[in-house]
């Protein structure tokens, strides 16, 4: 992973020229190139780790596993949110871990967090480092030092129970490695967040993530059936169970705990047979509202595709431009659509995965309903284009930052009846806030996860950067959107998590007493308050 942006440096994406032209036109993107500083120019504070604490960490994991060199500290200095990248590219991260520690076992994690509790060293659990909400920011809190606890060596699959379709996975197992190991057993987890290539499964559980196919496979909270948490106060081990009536769900208290209670070291996961067939297709709807109603219908009739994503008019327009010769433009599609009177309109991507016969049947079931609700099938080409680029958006962001353009996302979920109001209010908040600063944005929206009672809304906004005031500009937009979300009855986050950036809105969602309940849990598991300070609980 490149330290100042996303992904493998050899796999850089650059904006297709038609998209660049569009952004020059619509958000006033300039011609300048603003690349990142060199790695050695990144300014880090000197490590504040006291020798005694250093020795305690080394005693827990072995001396070679406590690392303090510049490159490693930079790589663990931030996540991959917009403000993280702005600061990193400028060579001025807010902070950096005083050391990065690489335990190689669950027991070492246990020893490490106990030591940190005793020595007053803050601990930031670090999986893929892909947080976009400040979830891995190296915050010391009231402690003298902070370490990043990198879980990469707690990886691999075990406990494969073919009959029950469950496995155990080390928390540091990355998405592709997990799927590759599962594939060797003819299995899949089916959890594909956009950050799939870099996430760890422990990070997914800690942040209560959802993936592109979660409408079909379920969110991570549906897939985790057991877990192990190492907290400074001890260990929580919950064996895999299909369901239980045994009191409040401690599993659901650890899922989403974002490293603030302890470190998830192992997960029991529900898996499925690897799909022998997949079908990804496009469908057009005349309006976002018509598409939304159609998706509501398939969700409530329980005939939803496994993947269901509906772009609004703006996102559809921009994706067509971005797709260049691929996607919908390359196929007879656009003429076809125009011939039927869909000017503008909204693109949906629908996907089914499973046994060939099952995919055929469920596809017919979904499409029958969706067509009846006004959807115009576009065939497989848009689905292929989506599948080819499904993990690609973060790569484009680097090119936009090079060109002085801010791109950021906000997301929520709400009841179906609340979605139109939420969409309008959030779009207006972003439009007005950024227009007032002289940087009017393009705001795109899509639905990407369906539930019987509601769905998620995902917004991407793009605007010219205010040079030198990038962070203020971002925070103004971000916080205006967050206010609109909570006022409109949405959740402050459907799948990005709370981290640092959403922490001040959690109380509006769960109440002051709800936040206090979480604090009481934290106090029990992490009495010294060393676990991921400043995240989850403001």
Site for a copy of itself, residues 111 to 170, rule: CB under 8 A: 161, 163-166
Pattern 428-467, binding to a copy of itself, x per CB under 8 A? ---------------------x-xxxxxx-----------
Q: Is 107 in the site for a copy of itself (CB under 8 A)?
A: no
> What are the backbone angles phi and psi of residue 410, rounded to the nearest 5°?
-135, 155
Task: Give me the least distance between CB of 522 and a copy of itself, in Å please.
Answer: 9
Q: Is 416 in the site for a copy of itself (CB under 8 A)?
A: yes
The nearer residue to a copy of itself, 41 or 161, going by C-beta atoms, is: 161
Q: Is 109 in the site for a copy of itself (CB under 8 A)?
A: no
Task: Give me the least distance between CB of 76 and a copy of itself, in Å please.
Answer: 23
Task: Give me the least distance between CB of 412 and a copy of itself, in Å please.
Answer: 9
Q: Give the DSSP H or E segment for 100.
A: strand 99-101
Q: Is 536 in the site for a copy of itself (CB under 8 A)?
A: yes
User: Which 227-266 positions form the footprint of a copy of itself (CB under 8 A)?
Assistant: 231, 233-250, 252-258, 261
Q: Is 191 in the site for a copy of itself (CB under 8 A)?
A: no
**Nearest-angstrom CA–CA distance, 141 and 532:** 9
**Nearest-angstrom CA–CA distance, 202 and 346:** 35
> What are the backbone angles phi and psi of residue 115, rounded to the nearest 5°?
-60, -45
Task: Give me the least distance between CB of 355 and a copy of itself, in Å please.
Answer: 8
Q: Do the bridges between strand 405-415 and strand 442-450 make them parallel or antiparallel, or are there none, so unpaired?
A: unpaired
The nearer residue to a copy of itself, 241 or 435, going by C-beta atoms, is: 241
**Nearest-angstrom CA–CA distance, 536 and 538:** 6
User: Which 284-303 positions form the footprint of a copy of itself (CB under 8 A)?
Assistant: 296, 300-301
The total number of residues shown for the chain amounts to 538
Total interface residues for a copy of itself by CB under 8 A:
86
- Residue 340 has, within 13 A of its CA and on its CB side, a CA count of 16
Task: Give me the least distance between CB of 444 and a copy of itself, in Å please.
Answer: 20
The nearer residue to a copy of itself, 15 or 503, going by C-beta atoms, is: 503
Task: Give me the least distance between CB of 441 and a copy of itself, in Å please.
Answer: 24
Q: Do the bridges between strand 234-238 and strand 224-231 make them parallel or antiparallel, or are there none, so unpaired?
A: antiparallel
Residues 6+ apart with CB under 8 A from 124: 76, 97, 136, 137, 138, 139, 146, 147, 148, 149, 259, 532
Q: Is 208 in the site for a copy of itself (CB under 8 A)?
A: yes
Q: Where are the beta strands (DSSP E) in 373-453?
A: 376-379, 405-415, 442-450
CB 472 within 8 Å of CB 438:
no
Region of 6-14, 219-227, 316-324, 438-446 interacting with a copy of itself (CB under 8 A): 219-227
Residues 6+ apart with CB under 8 A from 10: none
CB 65 within 8 Å of CB 56:
no
């Amino acid at each position: 992973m490149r330290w100042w942006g996303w992904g493998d440096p050899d796999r850089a994406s650059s904006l297709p020229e038609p998209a660049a032209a569009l952004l020059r036109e619509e958000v006033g993107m300039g011609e300048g190139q603003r690349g990142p500083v060199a790695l050695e120019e990144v300014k880090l504070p000197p490590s504040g780790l006291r020798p005694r604490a250093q020795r305690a960490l080394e005693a827990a994991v072995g001396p070679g596993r406590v690392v303090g060199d510049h490159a490693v500290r930079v790589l663990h200095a931030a996540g991959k949110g917009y403000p993280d990248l702005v600061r990193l590219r400028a060579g001025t991260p807010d902070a950096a871990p005083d050391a990065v520690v690489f335990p190689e076992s669950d027991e070492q994690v246990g020893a490490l967090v106990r030591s940190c509790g005793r020595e007053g060293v803050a601990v930031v659990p670090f999986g893929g480092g892909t947080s976009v909400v400040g979830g891995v920011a190296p915050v010391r809190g009231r402690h003298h030092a902070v370490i990043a606890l990198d879980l990469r060596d707690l990886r691999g699959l075990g406990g494969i129970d073919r009959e029950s379709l469950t496995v155990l996975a080390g928390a540091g197992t990355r998405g592709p490695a997990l799927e590759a190991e599962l594939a060797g057993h003819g299995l899949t987890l089916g959890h594909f967040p956009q950050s799939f290539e870099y996430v760890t499964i422990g990070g997914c559980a800690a942040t209560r993530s959802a993936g592109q196919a979660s409408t079909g496979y379920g969110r991570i909270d549906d897939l985790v059936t057991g877990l192990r948490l190492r907290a400074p106060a001890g260990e929580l081990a919950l064996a895999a169970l299909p369901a239980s009536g045994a009191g409040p769900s401690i599993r659901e208290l650890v899922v989403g705990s974002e490293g603030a209670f302890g470190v998830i070291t192992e997960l029991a996961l529900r898996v499925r047979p690897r799909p022998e067939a997949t079908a990804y297709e496009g469908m057009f709807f005349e309006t976002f509202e018509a598409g939304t109603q159609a998706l509501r219908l398939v969700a409530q009739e329980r005939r939803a595709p496994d993947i269901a994503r509906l772009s609004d008019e703006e996102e559809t327009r921009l994706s067509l431009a971005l797709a260049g010769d691929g996607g919908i433009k390359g196929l007879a599609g656009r003429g076809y659509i125009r011939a039927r009177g869909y000017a503008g309109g909204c693109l949906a991507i629908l996907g089914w995965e499973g046994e060939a016969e099952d995919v055929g049947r469920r596809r017919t079931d979904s499409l029958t309903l969706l067509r009846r609700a006004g959807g115009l099938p576009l065939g497989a080409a848009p689905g292929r284009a989506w599948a080819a680029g499904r993990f690609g958006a973060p790569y484009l962001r680097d090119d936009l930052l090079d060109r002085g353009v801010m791109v950021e996302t906000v997301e929520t979920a709400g009841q179906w009846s609340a979605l139109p109001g939420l969409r309008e209010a959030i779009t207006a908040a972003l439009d007005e806030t950024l227009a007032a600063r002289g940087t009017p944005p393009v705001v795109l929206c899509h639905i990407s996860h369906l539930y019987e009672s509601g769905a998620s809304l995902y917004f991407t906004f793009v605007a010219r950067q205010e040079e030198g005031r990038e962070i203020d500009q971002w925070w103004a937009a971000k916080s205006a959107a967050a206010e609109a979300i909570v006022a409109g009855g949405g959740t402050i986050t459907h799948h990005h998590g709370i981290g640092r950036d959403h922490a001040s809105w959690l109380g509006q969602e769960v109440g002051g007493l709800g936040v206090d309940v979480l604090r009481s849990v934290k106090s029990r598991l992490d009495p010294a308050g060393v676990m991921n300070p400043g995240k989850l609980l403001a």
